Structure 1
Amino acid sequence: MNHSDHFHHYFADLHIHIGRTQSNRPVKITGSRSLTFSAILQEATQRKGLQLIGIIDAQVPEVQAEIESSIQQGIFLEHPDGGICHEQTTCLLGAEIEIREPGMSPAHVLAYLPSLAQMKSFTSWLSKHMKNVHLSTQRLYQPAYILLEKVEELGGILIPAHIFTPFKSILGSATNSIRNIFPIHRLIAVELGLSSDTEMADQLSELQSLTFLTNSDAHSLNKMGREYQQIRMREASFKEWVLALQRKNNRAIIANYGLNPKLGKYYQTCCATCYQPWPINNDQCTNCGSKKKIHGVADRIRQLADQPSLSPVYRPPYHYQIPLEFLPTVGPKTREKMLSEIGTEMEILHFASLEQISSSVGERIATMIKQIRAGNISLQAGGAGRYGRIE
């Protein structure tokens, strides 16, 4: 734990799922078996280079028991200002919850709490209003405002998740305005999701006061850090993180790093059957004749936009970043070679010299990373649940 009076810059990914508990009990059904609490912290520290992470299945009692046991053994430390510390990484404890307001589709929100004790209290409350607290992203049978009040009562914060995605998000599927679910002045941040970016989101005036988060929503260890942010804080803790989201006392998110939205699974409106882009103003796919389409985030934002893209002065730059696993010709063996010879993924993507990369894995990959850093990559857009790709 760093109690310095100086500010530091921390890479942070605050939406990571748990696949299994220590006893191999499933938490996120679609999550990898290797995605355990301990494995996530090791991956963050040793391979990804993330100094702050958020695990959003921490409401699960068995996960809490693992954390508690590791604290007692001295493997983890609980930060006095909130968070679980392991080597160079602090983990914030969160829970992804499904809400459903009357007449609306379900939507996901992220509740973060400062301490293990407060998360355990939250679990106790959830268990009275949720069918299964042992699984990820379960439906809460309470109004959204009651959830917000409970999270605030416990000293936590509530953040709408992947707000534009066509399934289970506030603006993507539930409603046309966050205000229909939550009072905007009670929120401090929203999570954008993989198929949107700052320029797109700033076409909605109601988001102007909110800090934008870019997170991975990782369902496997490899996916950690595919989107993240850099945060200026004194140390990595819950208290400092909240100050950064509030943009107080010189704390702030200073950069968002994310996939180019075209690489996201839901960027463009596509046919749900053949995945081809949906023709404008058509009621069926011209490729296969299907009448089923999945609305893209870009089209949804165009529907909701009430202004040109206007970023407030405090909004940090959004950098398009492509994780190593997305790079053509960079397979697992090549990734391992880079990680062992150069350093963490953050080190490779941001700081390593092109000479270092070239001497490790060759000039072609070094040139590709140079192009990524400069934003000079040609992409094919994704949609209907299929990721875009680098051409």
Structure 2
Amino acid sequence: MRVYADLHVHIGFSNGRYIKVPSSKTLTLENIIKTAKDEKGLNVIGVVDFLCKDVIDETDKLLDKGKLELKDGNLYSEGLLIIPAAEIELRFCSNDFHCLLFFDDYEKLKDFRKIIKIYFNQIDFSCPVFKGRIDDFEKIVSSFEILTVPAHAFTPYKGFYSAAKNIEEVFENSEIFSIELGLSADSYMVNALFDVHRRSLLSNSDAHSLKNIAREFNEIEVENFSANDVIKSIKENKIIANYGINPKLGKYHKSYCKECNSSFNLKSQDLILCPFCKSNDIVIGVEDRISWLCKIENPVEKPPYFYTFPFELIQGFGQKTIRKIIDVFGNEINFIKSLNNGAFRSYNIDKNIAQKLERFINQDYTIKFGAGGHFGRVIFE
């Protein structure tokens, strides 16, 4: 069977307390589940703040109330599988980067937390910091057989490749099966990279709000509807397709000068200066970062990468228009699928909206590139 999965979603508020600051009090586990099922159309969601005690306590309360079901170690809410996960911060050669940890069993997560909490700073907040060495971390996750994935790997802030040049120099004693792309890259940009050759690619939203859930997601072939099978499919490269925003719109796609607010491509990694004002206060863009990494001679064919429709980044698509579209298609994933297979043409859609959707499919638009923490824009001229 095939499932649609967004495996990187944050909780903002849990058990009466902020987990991630700043965030909204509406970004709760219950609201995430409801949004993922009813508005987005996901089958699987990975919630990455499960090391926090408040999140565990709230989950246990929802289980007691019958709002969640625990079956064979898996968390379910009706037709939605919730994979307990964590985003953590590691350090390599004085550089910090983020990783995702995925657990195939809810009780295993609890056992893991009991053993490793002494290794973390602020374990009860979003993205706790691991205090030990990388090899200490590797021993622990290997003993629990936890899937570890570098998060938003190519982004300048806390991305893996802002801290290191390749996987093997950091993780010497454990296998990394997958890499998360992040909003400013797609599989076509990275298919010639050495690190990508044998590994699957994940496209996840890293949502810090309800509306951004499923902004990026994955279509995965699984044998059974369980966390163990989703993780197994990621390890075995059974990603059928990736879905995400056009990376040119990503907020770190181009390099950016914080002095004069210009965006550009750097000519060399040896001399990182703004071509306009000569400042060295530069945020290195994902496109430039990827160009500097080790390549293989023949690019690897990866699953297709379909561009989602970034409502907030497109002129003329306010909340009322978005609501109309969701009402017509049932959920956002149905809408995205209909764009990619052309089925949207058979739906009863406002003529002006349909024209813009047609232009979007044909890439008949102008893009204002994203850079320096600012998303780009799709402009219909």
1:318 aligns with 2:305: yes
Superposed displacement of residue 79, structure 1: 3.5
Q: Deviations over 1:301-322 (max 9, x none)?
A: 111142356014xx21112222
For 1:363 and 1:244, how far apart are their aligned partners in 2? Answer: 41
Match of 1:297 among 286, 297, 303: 286
- Report the Cα offset of residue 170 of structure 1: 1.5
Does structure 1 residue 9 correspond to structure 2 residue 13? Answer: no
Match of residue 24 from structure 2 = 32
Q: For each residue in 1:218-271, what CA deviation from the matched residue of structure 2 results, as whole angstroms up to 9, or x when unmatched?
A: 0001111111111112333111112211227xxx11001111111111111111
Among 343, 361, 385, the alignment partner of 2:373 is 385
CA distance in structure 1 between the aligned counterparts of 2:70 and 2:250, rounded to whole angstroms: 35
Cα 1:322–1:355 change in 2 (3 A) is: closer
Aligned twin of 2:262? 276
Whole-Å separation in 2 of the counterparts to 1:34 and 1:21: 10
SS state at 2:322 partner: helix
- 1:169 maps to 2:162: no
Matches within 5 A, 1:155-166: 155-166=145-156
Please report how far the alpha carbon of residue 364 of structure 1 lies from its aligned counterpart in structure 2 after TM superposition: 2.2
Distance 1:150 1:185 in 2: 10
Equivalent-residue separation in structure 2 for 1:184 and 1:245 (angstroms)? 20
CA contact (8 A) 2:6 2:205 kept: yes
Structure 1 residue 288, shift from structure 2 partner: 5.5
Q: TM-score, normalised by structure 2?
A: 0.91
The equivalent of 1:126 in structure 2 is: 116
Match of 1:92 in 2: 83
Residues 193 and 184 of structure 1, relative CA distance in 2, 3 Å threshold: farther
SS in 2 for 1:218: coil
Question: Which of residues 188, 191, 196 in structure 2 aligns to 1:207?
Answer: 196
C-alpha distance in 2, partners of 1:275/1:122?
A: 44
Q: Which residue of 1 aligns with 2:100?
A: 110
Q: CA 1:305–1:374 in structure 2 vs 1: closer, same or farther (change >3 Å)?
A: farther
Alignment of 1:335-346 (within 5 A): 335-346=322-333
| Higher percent of residues as strand | 2
The normalised TM-score by structure 1 is 0.89
C-alpha change, 1:284 and 1:183, in structure 2 (3 Å) is closer
Offset, 1:75 = 1.1
Contact between 1:296 and 1:383, CA under 8 Å: does it hold in 2? yes
- Indicate conservation of the 8 Å contact 2:138/2:174, yes or no: no
Give unmatched runs, 5+ long, in structure 1: 1-7
Tell me which amino acid in the other structure corresponds to 2:215. Answer: R
Secondary structure at 2:309 match in 1: coil
Whole-angstrom CA distance in 1 between matches of 2:35 and 2:170: 36
User: Which residue of 2 is the match for residue 191 of structure 1?
Assistant: 180
Change (3 A) 1:164 1:286: closer
Secondary structure, in 3 states, of the residue corresponding to 1:84?
Answer: strand
* Equivalent residue, structure 2, for 1:261: 247
Aligned residues: 373
Describe the shift of the 1:390–1:118 C-alpha distance in structure 2 as closer, same or farther (beyond 3 A). Answer: same
Choose 131-140 or 362-371, whichever is displaced more.
362-371
The answer to which of 233-242 and 209-218 deviates more is 233-242
Q: Helix, strand or coil for the counterpart of 2:212?
A: coil
Q: Percent identity?
A: 29
Offset at 1:376? 4.5
Sort the Cα spacing of 1:366 and 1:289 in 2 relative to 1 into closer, same or farther, 3 A. Answer: same
Counterpart amino acid of residue 276 in structure 1? S
In the alignment, the residues of structure 1 paired with residue 217 and residue 306 of structure 2 have an alpha-carbon distance, to the nearest angstrom, of 10
**1:279 CA displacement:** 6.6
Find the aligned partners of 2:223 and 2:77 in 1 and give their Cα distance.
17
Q: How does 1:218-257 map to 2 (within 5 A)?
A: 218-247=207-236, 252-257=238-243
1:15 and 1:54 in contact (8 A); partners too: yes
Residue by residue, what CA displacement relative to the aligned partner does 1:280-333 show, whole Å, maximum 9, x if unpaired? 457654656644111011111111142356014xx2111222233333211112
Distance 1:274 1:34 in 2: 37
Is the 2:88–2:100 contact (alpha carbons within 8 Å) kept by the matching residues of 1? Answer: yes
Give me the whole-angstrom Cα distance separating, in 2, the residues matched to 1:128 and 1:283. 40
Cα gap change, 1:39 to 1:320, in 2 (>3 Å): same
Question: What is the DSSP-based 3-state SS (H/G/I as helix, E as strand, rest coil) of the residue aligned with 2:120?
Answer: coil
SS state at 1:100 partner: strand
